Amino acid sequence: MSTPSESAPYGFVFPGQGSQEIGMGKDLSERFPAARAVFDEADDALGFALSALCFAGDADELALTANTQPAILTCSIAALAAARSELGDAFVDGAALCFGHSLGELSALVAAGALAFADAVRLVRLRGDEKGAAKRPPLDLAVILDRSGSMSGDKLSAVKQASLDLLKELDAGDRVTLISYESGVITHTERLLADPKGIEALRGHLLPLTTAGGTALGPAMYQGLEILERAAGKRSEKDLAHVLLLSDGQANEGETRPDVLGARAAEGFARGVSLSTLGVGLDYNEDLMTKLADQGGGRYHFIQDAQAIPRVLGDEMAGLVATVANGVRLTMNPAPGLSVQAIYGYADLATDKGGRAAAIGSLGAGQIRDVLLRLDLPAATGESMALGVLGVDFTDLKNQGKQSHAELALTLSLSADPERLRRAENTEVTVRAAEVESAAKLEAATRAVAIGQYNQARTLLQEDIQRLETLKKGDPSLDLDEQIEELKDAEENIYKAQQSESERKIFEKSFKAKAYKKSKGGYDQSDLKVKKKKSMKDPFN
C-alpha cells in the first residue's frame, strides 16, 4: 500500500451494487486481521455467516440484493480497516472527503464516522429489492367491511370486486378473517387458510353481503384485533398480522370515542397487529380514520368514489406483500438538558428515559420513510454537543422474524462562524422541514374550509406559498416547486368548495389526505423511482 502526497488532497470513493463476486474480501480477511474483524462484526450483526457467502458461497445467492448490499458494504469497510492498520489513522482520517455510488453512500457515511458499521450493515440488509420481497412472509389478515345502509349500490359492489381481487393475491399459507358490520358485527371466517377450499369459502361469504343498519365500526375493529391477538402463539415470528378496516360513515354504534378507539389500535400494534384504514366517500370521519391508522402503525387511504376502491385496496395489498420490516418503532432519548418537542407526522408517546417514541409501522423493500424530529436545545459552548440516542426496533421479516434493534448516538458540531454554519446546512432537511410545516398549514386550511372560514383558509395558504417562495430563492428545489404548486392548487379549489356542500367535503377530505401523506414523509417504490429521476442533487442514483 502507498500513501498519496502529503500536499495533495485525497478522498475515498466506495462502489455500489454490481461489483460483487464470489471470493470478495477473502484475500483481505486472510492478510489483515483488521479486515477479518470487520467481517466478524458483520456476521454477528446479521445473524448469519456473510463472510462465508462472500468467500466461497453460491453466486446466485450472493446476487440477491439482500445479500449483495451488505457484502459490498462490508468489503468496502474491511478494505478501509486494512488501510488503517497498515498506513495509520492519520492516512484514513486525513481524507478530504468520502463519497460513493448509490449503496456506496452508506459506506462513505461509515467511513466518515457518521454511521456505525453494525447499524449500516443491518440497514442495507433490510433494503432488499422487489424480487426478494416477492418471497414474502405469510399474512394473517383481518378484512373488516362496512355494510351499513350508506354502502348500498356501487360502493358495496366495488368493495366486493376489490375483495375478490385481493383474494387472488393471497398465497395458500395466508390466513383470512372476514368481518362485516352494520349495527351489529358478523365474523364470517376466523383465520381461514387461503388455500383453494378456503378461497371458495371466502367468496361464498363475500358475494351475498347486503347493506342495512348503522355503523358499528368500533366493535368490528375490536373483534378483528382480538382474533389476531389471540392467535399470536400460533404464528411464527415472521408472519405479518394486519387489519384492513373500511368505512364510509360515522361510527354510531358501540364504542365511538376517537381517543378510546385510537388507544385500542395502539394496544394492538404493541401486541404485533398493525391496522390500516380506508375511508370511502365524503361522509366518514377522517380524523378518526387517520388516528386509527397512526396509532395502529398502518396507512390511511381516502377513496373519493366507488371506482377507486379496487385500486386503493390493491395498493394497500401491494404494500403488505412487499413488507420486509414490521412493527417498526422509532425512539429518541435526548441527552440531559435537552427535550424532544415532536416527532412530526406520527402519534408519539413518552419513553421511560424522558424521550419520545413513534409507531412507524411496516416498511417494504426499497421504501424510504423520512421522519423529522424537533429538539429543544439549550445555549451551549465548545465544539460539539451530544444530542442523545436515536433507536429503531423492528421485526426483521427477511431474517426469520428476528427482533432487531439499531441505535445511533447523535452529536451536533457547534460553531459561531456564520459561513461555516451556512456550508454545514443539510438542505434536504431544510426542505423536509418546510414540507412538514406546509402539511400543517394545508390541514389548517382544510379545517377552516370545513367551518366556512374561506378567507382564513386563503390567507393561510398564501402566507405559506410566500414562505416557500422565499426559501426557494436560497435553495432551488423541485420538492419546493411541488409544494408550492400543491398549495396553489388548494387555493384555487377553495372557490369550488364554496359552491356546494359536496364540493366542500371533497376539498376537505382530499387535501387533508394530501397533508397527512406529506407529514409522513414516506413513499413507495414507484414514487421512489420518480423522485430519483427528478432529483437535482444526486447524480449517482
Taking the C-alpha atoms of residue 513 and residue 301, their distance in angstroms, rounded to an integer, is 7
**Chain-centre distance for alpha carbon 424:** 27
Residue partners of 479: CB distance under 8 A and separation at least 6: 431, 435
Over residues 427-459, the pLDDT tens digits come to 878 888 888 899 999 999 999 999 999 999 999
| Same fold: 11-127 with 139-321 | no
Q: Kindly tell me if the per-residue pLDDT of 399 is higher than 60.
A: yes
pLDDT at 451: 92
Rounded to the nearest integer, the mean pLDDT of the chain is 86
Residue 236 burial (10 A CB sphere; 0-12, 13-18, 19+): exposed
Taking the C-alpha atoms of residue 367 and residue 360, their distance in angstroms, rounded to an integer, is 12
Over residues 229-280, the pLDDT tens digits come to 999 989 888 888 999 999 988 899 999 999 999 999 999 998 999 999 999 8
The helix-helix angle for 478-497 and 501-520 (nearest 10°) equals 160
Q: Kindly tell me if the per-residue pLDDT of 540 is higher than 80.
A: no
CA-based torsion, 80, 81, 85, 86: positive or negative: negative
Taking the C-alpha atoms of residue 452 and residue 450, their distance in angstroms, rounded to an integer, is 6
pLDDT at 537: 34
> What confidence tier does 525 reach under pLDDT thresholds 50, 70, 90?
very low
Report, as an integer, the average pLDDT of 381-407: 88
- Amino acid making up residue 342: A
pLDDT at 79: 94
Q: Kindly tell me if the per-residue pLDDT of 370 is higher than 90.
A: no
For cell 420481497, what's the residue? 133
Share of the chain above pLDDT 70, in %: 93
Taking the C-alpha atoms of residue 324 and residue 240, their distance in angstroms, rounded to an integer, is 10
Rounded to 5 degrees, φ, ψ at 216 are -90, 60
CB 359 within 8 A of CB 346: yes
Over residues 32-46, the pLDDT tens digits come to 999 999 999 999 989
Residue partners of 177: CB distance under 8 A and separation at least 6: 140, 141, 142, 143, 187, 189, 190, 191, 192, 224, 227, 228
Report, as an integer, the average pLDDT of 534-541: 32
**The length of the chain, given as a count of residues:** 541
Paired with 408 in beta bridges are 390
Taking the C-alpha atoms of residue 406 and residue 99, their distance in angstroms, rounded to an integer, is 23
What are 446-454's contacts with CB under 8 Å, separation 24+?
446/507, 446/508, 446/511, 446/512, 446/515, 449/494, 449/497, 449/504, 449/507, 449/508, 450/504, 450/508, 454/494, 454/497, 454/498
More confident residue, 179 or 359: 179
Q: Which of 336, 390, 421, 326 is nearest to 136 (CA)?
A: 326
DSSP state of 455: H
Taking the C-alpha atoms of residue 37 and residue 58, their distance in angstroms, rounded to an integer, is 23
H-only helix segments in 57-134: 59-62, 65-87, 89-93, 104-111, 117-127, 130-134
**Chain-centre distance for alpha carbon 106:** 19
CB 254 within 8 A of CB 212: no
Paired with 368 in beta bridges are 523
pLDDT at 223: 97
CATH fourth-level superfamily of 11-127: Malonyl-Coenzyme A Acyl Carrier Protein, domain 2 (3.40.366.10)
Taking the C-alpha atoms of residue 37 and residue 50, their distance in angstroms, rounded to an integer, is 13
Buried/exposed 20-48: b ≥16 CB within 10 Å, e otherwise: beeebbbebbeebebbbebbebbbebbee
Taking the C-alpha atoms of residue 246 and residue 48, their distance in angstroms, rounded to an integer, is 41
Q: Which sequence spans correspond to the domains of the chain? A: 11-127, 139-321, 325-416, 427-534
Q: Kindly tell me if the per-residue pLDDT of 215 is higher than 50.
A: yes
More confident residue, 318 or 284: 284
CB 139 within 8 A of CB 122: no
CA-based torsion, 86, 100, 95, 116: positive or negative: negative
Residue partners of 168: CB distance under 8 A and separation at least 6: none
- Amino acid making up residue 458: R
Taking the C-alpha atoms of residue 506 and residue 71, their distance in angstroms, rounded to an integer, is 50
139-321 topology per CATH: Rossmann fold (3.40.50)
pLDDT at 181: 95
Structure-block grid coordinates of residue 145: 367491511
Q: Kindly tell me if the per-residue pLDDT of 107 is higher than 50.
A: yes
> What confidence tier does 7 reach under pLDDT thresholds 50, 70, 90?
low
Q: How many CA atoms lie within 13 A of 301 on its CB side?
A: 23
CA triple 178-182-188, angle to 5 deg: 20
> What confidence tier does 538 reach under pLDDT thresholds 50, 70, 90?
very low
H-only helix segments in 207-254: 217-230
> What confidence tier does 2 reach under pLDDT thresholds 50, 70, 90?
low
Taking the C-alpha atoms of residue 73 and residue 85, their distance in angstroms, rounded to an integer, is 18
For cell 450483526, what's the residue? 45
> What confidence tier does 536 reach under pLDDT thresholds 50, 70, 90?
very low
Number of other CB atoms surrounding residue 530 within 10 Å: 10
For cell 502507498, what's the residue? 2
Over residues 52-91, the pLDDT tens digits come to 999 998 888 888 888 999 999 999 999 999 999 998 888 8
Share of the chain above pLDDT 90, in %: 46
Distances in Å between the Cα of 156 and the Cα atoms of 30, 248, 277, 281, 331 are 66, 10, 16, 12, 41
CB 385 within 8 A of CB 414: yes
Strands 97-100, 175-181: pairing is unpaired
CB 165 within 8 A of CB 267: no
pLDDT at 539: 26
**Chain-centre distance for alpha carbon 356:** 18
Over residues 464-498, the pLDDT tens digits come to 999 999 888 877 777 788 889 999 999 999 999 99
User: What is the longest distance spanned by two Cα atoms in the chain?
Assistant: 82
pLDDT at 131: 44
Over residues 115-156, the pLDDT tens digits come to 889 989 988 887 754 445 446 778 999 999 999 998 988 888
